[in-house]
Structure 1
Amino acid sequence: MGISTASMAQLRRHTDHAGAMASGICLVHCLMTPVVISLFPGALPYLPGDLRVHRLLAAIILLIGAAAFIPGYRIHRRKALLGLIAIGLLLILCVAWAGNAMSPSVELVLSVSGSLILVAAHLLNRSFCLRCTACEETDVCQTTRMH
C-alpha cells in the first residue's frame, strides 16, 4: 500500500514548515546567544553553544531540509531554489564544522545569513506547491509544466 499523491503533497507542506522552523530556531540561537552572554555572563555554562550543539542543529536542518526540498525539487525543478538551498546549507555546515577556526563575528554573519536563506528557500518551496493546482493529484507541476 503506497502513499497517495495528496498525502505526499501534504507531507511536503509540513516538512517545509518544519524546515523553516528549524532554520528559524537556528537563527534565534545565533542572534540571542551573544545577547544573553552580554546581559547575563553567569548563564554562559548553561547555554547550548558548544560544537556538538552546533553540529547537531546543522544535521537536523540538513535532514529536515532534504525531506522538504528533494520532493519539492523533483516536482518543481526550480534551479534557483536549488542554488539558495545549497548556499544556505553550505554556510550553516561551514560554521558548524569550523569550530573555533573563525572569529565569532564571522560565525554570526555566516550562520545568520545561512539561516535566513534557508527560511526563505523553505517558504519559496512551499509557495510553489501552493500555486500548483496539480501537486495534490499528480507528480507533474502545472506551474512549471515539468515532471
Structure 2
Amino acid sequence: MNRPNDISAVAAEPPVRGLDALAMLLSGLCLIHCLALPLLVAALPLAASSLVADERFHQWLLLGAVPTSVIALGWGWRRHRDGVVAWLGVIGLILMVFAAFGIQTGLIDADGERVLTVIGAVMLAVAHLRNYQLRHHGHDHSQPHAPH
C-alpha cells in the first residue's frame, strides 16, 4: 500500500522517463552519421545519393532531437537545477543546429559540419546522461527542504 507521500511523488514525476534515452539515441545517430558516412560513401558509391548522405539528414534528426532534448532537460532542470546539464545541453543543441543549417547557407564546409556535429552530439549526450543520473538518484531541488 502506498503512503500519501509516495503517491504525490509519483504524480509529480513527469511522463518523460525515456526521453533522455531517446535524445541520446538521436544524438548518437547524428554522431554515427558524421563519423561513418565518409567510410560508407567511399565503400558504396550508391550510398552517396541516398537520404543518409544528404545534408538534410541532420535536419530531419533534429526534428526529433531538439524537442525531445528540450523536454527531457527542462524537466530535469525543474528537479535538480544543475547548471552543467543546462549549459552542456544548450551548447550541444546550438552546435548541432548550426552545423545542420550552416553548411546549407555556406557558413561552414563539410568538415566544419562534421566537427560541430560531433562536438554537439557528445555534449548533448553527456548532458542527458548526467540529467538521467541526477533525476534518478534523489537530486530533487524542486521540493522545499524540511527543517532539520
State TM-score, norm by structure 2: 0.80
Residue type at the aligned position of 1:16: D
| Matches of 2:144 and 2:16, distance apart in 1 | 14
Q: CA deviation at 1:5?
A: 4.3
Residues 38-61 of structure 1 deviation map (CA, whole Å, 9 limit, x = unaligned): 111232112423243221212211
| Matches of 2:22 and 2:15, distance apart in 1 | 10
Q: CA deviation at 1:106?
A: 1.3
In angstroms, what is the RMSD of aligned CA positions?
Answer: 2.6
Ranges in structure 1 where 5+ consecutive residues have no aligned partner: none
2:75 is the counterpart of 1:81 = no
Ranges in structure 2 where 5+ consecutive residues have no aligned partner: 1-7
Cα pair 1:72 1:125 within 8 Å, conserved: yes
Q: CA deviation at 1:120?
A: 0.7
Residue of structure 2 in register with 1:62 after alignment: 66
The within-5 A match list for 1:113-124 is 113-124=119-130
Cα pair 1:33 1:47 within 8 Å, conserved: no
The within-5 A match list for 1:1-147 is 5-6=9-10, 9=13, 11-100=15-104, 101=106, 102-132=108-138, 139-140=142-143
| Matches of 1:111 and 1:105, distance apart in 2 | 10
Cα pair 2:84 2:127 within 8 Å, conserved: no
**Worse-superposed segment, 50-59 or 80-89:** 50-59
| Matches of 2:119 and 2:18, distance apart in 1 | 23
Identity %: 28
Residue type at the aligned position of 1:49: A
Cα pair 1:75 1:141 within 8 Å, conserved: no
Higher relative contact order (CA 8 A, sep 6+): 1
Residues 89-131 of structure 1 deviation map (CA, whole Å, 9 limit, x = unaligned): 0100001111342221111111011111111110000000121
Q: CA deviation at 1:8?
A: 5.7
